Structure 1
Amino acid sequence: MNLREQISHYIPYTTQEAKEQEVILQYMDTFDNLLIRENEFAHFTASAWIVNSERTKVLMAYHNIYQSWSWIGGHADGNANLLEVALKETTEETGLLHISPLANTIYSLEILGVPSHMKKGFPIATHLHLNVTYLIEANENEQTRVNQDENSAIKWMELEEAVEACTEPEMKIVYEKLNEKLKNYK
């Protein structure tokens, strides 16, 4: 199934997700370059909600740009297989080698506003991340490592602790949704 089909077939968990799904599909019909950052209005990213086998903890990274505890993820950079992107970002940002998706399907959808900022000395304009999240399982006892280009700490946190540790109000809402969905995950 191609990315558009995956997003079309995704069953939204909330009314907010339903609206964001609709908008993402509209953008896909409007822009032909959403998989690359050269689209400075909006582009695809993939995130991993990394949980332990008991699904009681999530792996968070202290994100250098946002100065907040955050999930793991990154830009598609031309790759339409966003699950592959989420897995690659997980390995790059945490050092984890033994990870597995709990499903090959989308776990959640988000449109995330990204404020203007500097990255590696270059200005980045305000834009949108059309984000696809995957649920990934990892062994909480496996050694992690910091990726200094992206983060300055990695930590397993209880689900509620992860929400509390985040300092971005809009992301707290996303993490609460992911945790709520996790409680009902089979």
Structure 2
Amino acid sequence: MKTLVKVGFAALAFTACTSGDGLMAQSPSAAEKQTVKKLSLSFRDGAFVVEGKAYKFPLSMKVLVSKFGEPDRQRRRAYIISTWDSLGLFAYQKTEDGPVLCLTIAFSELSYAFAPKTPFRGTFRYFDKEINARSTRQELDAAGLNQDDTLTTCHIGYWPGGEVVAEYIESLRELTINPDDDPEDG
């Protein structure tokens, strides 16, 4: 399952971006822009840290809901994709009660139907390096997210339980925390 999750996510994101089937996120209204929350998130030593509290992978949706509130919407296809529009976050699950397979931070406006309506506006640290929408490729490399040899739009950092993938096309678009194994597959 390790390869399927990694390739599956990249293929899913790529297909949604390039399919031309009209999948577009709507621009946020003025009221929505005013309610954008600024979170402090980080990733360190295999743990996702929200406002100073660390959570090990695999994450449960209950943890995300307790920290972020109920998702604004869910899209059900091959995966359940839960989106927090005002936070700039979305997460993938196979089943309603299953673990979170990956968590994505949207640093810019994305054109997928399931993408958050507003980009992430908080702070994110990968180990000790801050990463934000203005991060350069050199800053991603310095943080340990190295440009992939085959997917030149991706910068990847590995940890004992998985990988962190940053998509960079002219600027940082999104960053995904992707555990290696799907616990549902045994």
The TM-score with structure 2 as length reference comes to 0.28
Higher helix share: 1
The TM-score with structure 1 as length reference comes to 0.28
Which structure has the higher relative contact order (CA within 8 Å, separation 6+)? Answer: 1
